[in-house]
């Protein structure tokens, strides 16, 4: 089976997504249903609300995938589904749907590590992805700096000790009076601001560490806001730009340190924060300076989606074979 028809489901957080791929790189159908508007009033994702919404969406979305493509259910060769990390109730919905499909269609079932999915987004977008490469996965839940030695062989070099990069964006956005999720809104405000206006720390931890810590930066913004927000010359856009620059600098500094240590000059970016234009711009420039290249997925494939899960399912299945029906959810699954 050179190019199996892969059906994939992603329900790890607040996006219900289904995709059909022919082989690991050809998207036949892809749909993402975001729950953001439902969670907005709560200022973050409410797990129980997320599970219920996935339950409501998953079956109609599966049916729609087949009715819109005109494909028969029997054409499917492989089912991929996110098994973790993520919200337990949300993951269970996807796993149950995937198991039912695999059982009814009598095709292999593959549980996918959501982080492998984010990494696979770049496989999906770039035909010429080189190995080894480095990878920065930055989302609302994760901040991972990874040495990718081969397909599905990873060495985790750094992670966050507190807030994830996206979480720092969201919490700071809230402090600046923006809605959830605030990452893209901070970027938009920052485009009209001066990043040199407010001095904020680049928290780099120990000299030899690739870990990140963003909670100190968030606190620094809060303290600065207390001092500045009632002054006549306070400008929210300047605060947003100064904060964004501090996060971006911290991420770029660590990535470039790892480039220097390993001699690996190509780096992939993924996760929701990969949509950040300033991060892309600064990383790209820093890599170009040392003769490296930045690989980033399209914005739609940066965020949580089932297409990347299908790609990761293909490679997981090729390497490890299928799962059986005891497949469970792994909310804290490591890389
Ligand atoms: O990968 P993702 O869609 O979901 C998780 O698995 O978390 O990432 C969502 C995160 C949110 O924290 C959101 O604020 C952030 O990505 N984000 C951004 C931008 N677009 C989304 N952060 C900074 N700049 C952006 N343009
Ligand atoms: Zn994600």
Q: What is the pLDDT of residues 275-310, one digit of tens each?
A: 999 999 999 999 999 999 999 999 999 999 999 999
CATH superfamily of 130-299: ATPase, nucleotide binding domain (3.30.420.40)
Start-end of CATH 3.30.420.40 domains in the chain:
5-119+302-320, 130-299
Looking at the CA of 138, name the nearest ligand.
1
Residue 269 near residue 279 (C-beta atoms within 8 A): yes
CA of 95 to the centre of ligand 2 (A): 16
CA of 235 to the centre of ligand 2 (A): 32
Residue whose C-alpha is closest to residue 332's, from 185, 114, 73, 162: 114
The pocket around ligand 1, CB under 6 angstroms, is made up of 13, 139-141, 166, 169-170, 181-184, 187, 271-273, 275-276, 303-304
For residues 270 and 224, give the distance between their C-alpha atoms in angstroms, rounded to a whole number.
Answer: 30
How would CATH label the architecture of 5-119+302-320? 2-Layer Sandwich (3.30)
Residue 55 scores a pLDDT above 80:
yes
CA of 157 to the centre of ligand 2 (A): 19
pLDDT top residue among 299 and 1: 299
Atom 13 (ligand 1) nearest CA: 183
Mean residue pLDDT across the chain = 96
Tokens, residue 288: 């170009």
Q: Report the predicted TM-score, pTM, of the whole model to 2 decimal places.
A: 0.95
Place of tokens 């200022």: 43
- pLDDT one-digit tens code per residue, 320-330: 999 999 999 99
Atom of ligand 1 nearest to the CA of 271: 1
CA of 4 to the centre of ligand 2 (A): 25
Please say whether the dihedral angle defined by the alpha carbons of residues 297, 331, 134 and 210, taken in this order, is positive or negative. positive
Pocket test for ligand 1, best of 140, 171, 185, 307 (most atoms within 8 A of CB): 140
């Amino acid at each position: 089976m050179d190019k199996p028809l892969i059906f994939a489901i992603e329900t790890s957080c607040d996006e219900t997504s289904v995709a059909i791929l022919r082989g690991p790189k050809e998207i036949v159908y892809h749909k993402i249903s975001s729950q953001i508007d439902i969670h907005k009033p709560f200022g973050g994702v409410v797990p129980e609300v997320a599970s219920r919404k996935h339950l409501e969406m998953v079956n109609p979305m599966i049916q729609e995938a087949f009715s819109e493509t005109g494909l028969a259910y029997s054409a499917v060769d492989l089912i991929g589904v996110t098994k973790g990390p993520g919200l337990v109730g949300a993951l269970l919905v996807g796993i149950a749907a995937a198991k039912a499909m695999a059982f009814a269609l009598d095709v292999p079932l593959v549980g996918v590590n959501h982080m492998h999915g984010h990494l696979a987004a770049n496989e999906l977008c770039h035909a010429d992805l080189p190995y080894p490469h480095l990878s920065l996965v930055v989302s609302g839940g994760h901040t991972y700096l990874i040495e990718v030695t081969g397909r599905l062989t990873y060495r985790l070099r750094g992670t966050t000790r507190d807030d994830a990069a996206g979480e720092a964006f969201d919490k700071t956005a809230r402090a600046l009076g923006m809605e959830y999720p605030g990452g893209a809104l901070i970027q938009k405000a920052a485009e009209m601001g001066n990043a040199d206006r407010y001095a904020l720390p680049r928290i780099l931890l120990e000299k030899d560490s690739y870990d990140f810590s963003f909670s100190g930066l968030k606190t620094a913004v809060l303290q600065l806001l207390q001092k500045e927000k009632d002054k006549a010359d306070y400008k929210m856009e300047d605060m947003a730009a100064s904060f964004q620059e501090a996060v971006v600098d911290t991420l770029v500094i660590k990535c470039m340190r790892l480039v220097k240590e390993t001699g690996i000059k190509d780096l992939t970016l993924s996760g929701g924060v990969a949509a950040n234009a300033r991060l892309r711009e600064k990383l790209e420039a820093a890599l170009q300076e040392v003769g490296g290249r930045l690989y980033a997925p399209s914005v739609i494939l940066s965020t949580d989606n089932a297409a990347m899960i299908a790609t990761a399912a293909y490679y997981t299945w090729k390497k490890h074979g299928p799962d059986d029906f005891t497949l469970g959810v792994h909310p804290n699954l490591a890389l």
